[in-house]
């Protein structure tokens, strides 16, 4: 058997992710081959408060570590014991990155080859219901005393690692994991390399799922595989927590970035993923609505709601809605008072619009005023365009489209390059219906600002 050196390590911490997370206890067991040749255990004063929930989990409180050495006082011991040894831990990226961060704070670069007993166990001991240390030890009859204490967890990991060595006598898997070109060591503990290899290098969306299959993150990418892998190298606390919670990855190829953005937004609204922050909260748009007051005058107003009915135009800022109302008032000589542009109940006195014909003073008939209001509303309806945005498809044999009907996003679809589209009804045969939201409108408006009308087609020219 090879006489490789392994340092099997476990740390307990203050529980604040990677950055800002301080060590409260450490245990190191040195193996030469499969023989224990050294061991070191110590509490560590983290020089900060230990949260109550961490004390509840580990039993380590502020009083227990008050007189313990600080990390800089044991740093040399850790360096001496681990130099030349392969860093081994259960869920190695956590322990390794916490120790690396502690050394980084001291101005020292801590770099070691590493092995993860979670990932190795998944390969060599398949079929377990769970690969957490506690449940794995129960399944394999490995004694585990003082759970969530550094020494107890390290002792159990040593026994587990010895079994792994027995199951890989020629070091075929271990050497593969240690290969600098292998990404095994950087992968989250619960993912297989085959899962990553299966990801396409194409534009689309990807979904991270937890152990129960719940979607916990949705992202879009021009290169799905490359973007997913980038999450594994990001050392931000949130990214690290996301990767630790991920057990599976799904994806959908869209062929172009516009549909990827729209589909990402739809999936976020649908699944409300734990690790997404943007687009989770529905935003009610501003709408121009009309109603008839007690005098019979058609009153225009700005309303904000998600309801689709009784609106003539939709805006995503109040300023835009007010500007449109002011434009209608000016062009159709409407009354600012009856367009909700001033709160006074007296005659109108708008600072800019002065061409009201006197409906607010009884100088104009209600019938004539309402006729002009109807013309203004007809203009709003007419200004809602129906068009398609044509983009690349998922292969060279197809093209895609995004449908906007009467100013409302209806969805997207894919058609064969040779398929003739001569009406909106033809598009609907291929349409994946989607919701029109604040976020989809922003995405489409941003696309139009960037690309202009080069991909915009009227239905008659879409062939």
Tell whether 75 and 163 lie within a shared domain. Answer: yes
Nearest CA-CA partner of 168 in 97, 228, 119, 229: 119
Tell whether 307 and 448 lie within a shared domain. Answer: no
The residue out of 186, 213, 247 marking a domain boundary is 186
| Helix (H) or strand (E) run with residue 133 in it | helix 133-139
The residue out of 186, 220, 253 marking a domain boundary is 186
Tell whether 27 and 48 lie within a shared domain. Answer: yes
- Residue 93 inside a domain? The answer is yes
- Residue 277 inside a domain? The answer is no
- Residue 127 inside a domain? The answer is yes
Give every CB contact of residue 160 below 8 A, 6+ residues apart in sequence: 90, 117, 121, 133, 136, 137, 140, 142
| Helix (H) or strand (E) run with residue 248 in it | strand 248-253
Tell whether 367 and 398 lie within a shared domain. Answer: no
State residue 303's pLDDT score: 86
Query: CATH no. for residue 27?
Result: 3.30.420.10
SS3 for 362? Answer: coil
Tell whether 299 and 423 lie within a shared domain. Answer: no
Nearest CA-CA partner of 253 in 193, 315, 201: 201
- Residue 276 inside a domain? The answer is no
Tell whether 76 and 224 lie within a shared domain. Answer: no
The residue out of 349, 382, 415 marking a domain boundary is 382
- Residue 450 inside a domain? The answer is yes
- Residue 279 inside a domain? The answer is no
Tell whether 346 and 397 lie within a shared domain. Answer: no
Count the domains in the chain.
4
Tell whether 369 and 428 lie within a shared domain. Answer: no
- Residue 281 inside a domain? The answer is no
CB 23 within 8 A of CB 98: yes
SS3 for 106? Answer: coil
SS3 for 204? Answer: strand
Tell whether 52 and 181 lie within a shared domain. Answer: yes
Tell whether 429 and 393 lie within a shared domain. Answer: yes
Q: Please report where in the chains the tokens 């390059």 appear, as a residue.
A: 417
CA distance to 197, 205, 246, 256, per residue, from 217 (Å): 20, 10, 9, 20
From first to last of its 463 residues, what are the pLDDT tens digits of the chain?
458 999 999 999 998 766 778 999 999 999 999 999 999 999 999 999 999 989 999 999 999 999 999 999 999 999 999 999 999 999 898 899 899 999 999 999 999 999 999 999 999 999 888 899 999 999 999 999 988 899 999 999 999 999 999 999 999 999 988 886 666 767 888 888 888 989 999 999 999 999 999 999 999 999 999 999 999 887 777 888 899 899 999 999 999 999 999 999 999 999 999 999 877 666 777 888 889 988 899 998 888 876 544 455 677 778 888 888 888 888 888 888 888 887 766 667 766 777 888 888 888 899 999 999 998 888 877 667 788 898 999 988 899 999 988 788 899 999 887 776 666 777 777 888 898 888 898 899 899 989 988 888 766 444 4
Q: Whole domain around residue 377: which residue ranges?
A: 286-382
- Residue 239 inside a domain? The answer is yes
| Helix (H) or strand (E) run with residue 32 in it | strand 23-32
Q: Would the pTM of this model clear 0.75, i.e. be above it?
A: no
The structure tokens listed for 52 are 């109550």
Tell whether 211 and 123 lie within a shared domain. Answer: no
Tell whether 376 and 391 lie within a shared domain. Answer: no
State residue 462's pLDDT score: 43
Query: CATH no. for residue 235?
Result: 3.40.1440.10
């Amino acid at each position: 058997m090879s006489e490789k050196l392994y340092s099997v390590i476990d740390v307990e911490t203050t529980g604040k992710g990677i950055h800002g997370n301080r060590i409260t206890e450490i245990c190191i067991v040195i193996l030469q081959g499969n023989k224990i040749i050294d061991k070191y255990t110590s509490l560590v004063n983290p020089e900060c408060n230990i949260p109550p929930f961490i004390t509840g989990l580990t039993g380590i409180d502020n009083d227990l570590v008050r007189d313990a050495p600080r990390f800089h006082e044991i740093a040399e011991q850790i360096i001496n014991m681990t130099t030349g040894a392969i860093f081994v831990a259960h869920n190695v990226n956590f322990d390794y990155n916490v120790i690396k961060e502690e050394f980084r704070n001291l101005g020292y670069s801590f770099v070691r080859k590493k092995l993860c007993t979670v990932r190795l166990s998944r390969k060599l001991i398949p079929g377990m219901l769970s690969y957490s240390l506690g449940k794995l030890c129960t399944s394999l009859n490995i004694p585990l005393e003082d759970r969530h204490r550094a020494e107890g967890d390290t002792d159990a990991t040593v026994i587990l690692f010895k079994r792994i060595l027995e199951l890989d006598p020629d070091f075929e898997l271990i050497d593969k994991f240690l290969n600098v070109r292998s990404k095994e060591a950087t992968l989250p503990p619960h993912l297989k390399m085959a899962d990553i290899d299966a990801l396409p290098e194409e534009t689309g969306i990807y979904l991270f799922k937890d152990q129960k299959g719940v979607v916990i993150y949705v992202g879009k990418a021009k290169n799905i595989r490359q973007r997913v892998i980038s999450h594994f190298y990001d050392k931000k606390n949130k990214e690290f927590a996301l990767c630790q919670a991920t057990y599976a990855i799904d994806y959908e190829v869209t062929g172009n970035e516009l549909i990827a953005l729209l589909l990402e937004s739809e999936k976020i609204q649908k699944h409300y993923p734990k690790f997404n922050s943007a687009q989770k909260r529905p935003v009610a748009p501003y709408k121009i609505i009309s109603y008839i007051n007690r005098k019979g005058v058609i009153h225009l107003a700005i309303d904000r709601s998600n309801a689709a009915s009784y609106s003539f135009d939709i805006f995503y800022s109040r300023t835009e809605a007010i500007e449109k109302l002011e434009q209608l008032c000016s062009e159709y000589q409407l009354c600012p008072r009856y367009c909700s542009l001033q709160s006074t109940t007296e005659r109108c006195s708008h600072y800019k619009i002065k061409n009201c014909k006197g409906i607010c003073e009884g100088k104009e008939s209600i019938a004539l005023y309402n006729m002009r209001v109807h013309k203004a509303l007809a203009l709003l309806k007419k200004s809602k365009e129906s068009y398609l945005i044509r983009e690349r498809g998922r292969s060279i044999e197809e093209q895609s489209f995004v449908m906007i009907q009467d100013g409302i996003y209806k969805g997207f679809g894919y058609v064969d390059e040779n398929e003739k589209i001569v009406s909106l009804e033809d598009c609907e045969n291929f349409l994946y219906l989607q919701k029109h939201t604040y976020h989809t409108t922003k995405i489409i408006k941003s696309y139009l600002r960037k690309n202009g009308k080069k991909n915009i087609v009227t239905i008659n020219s879409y062939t």
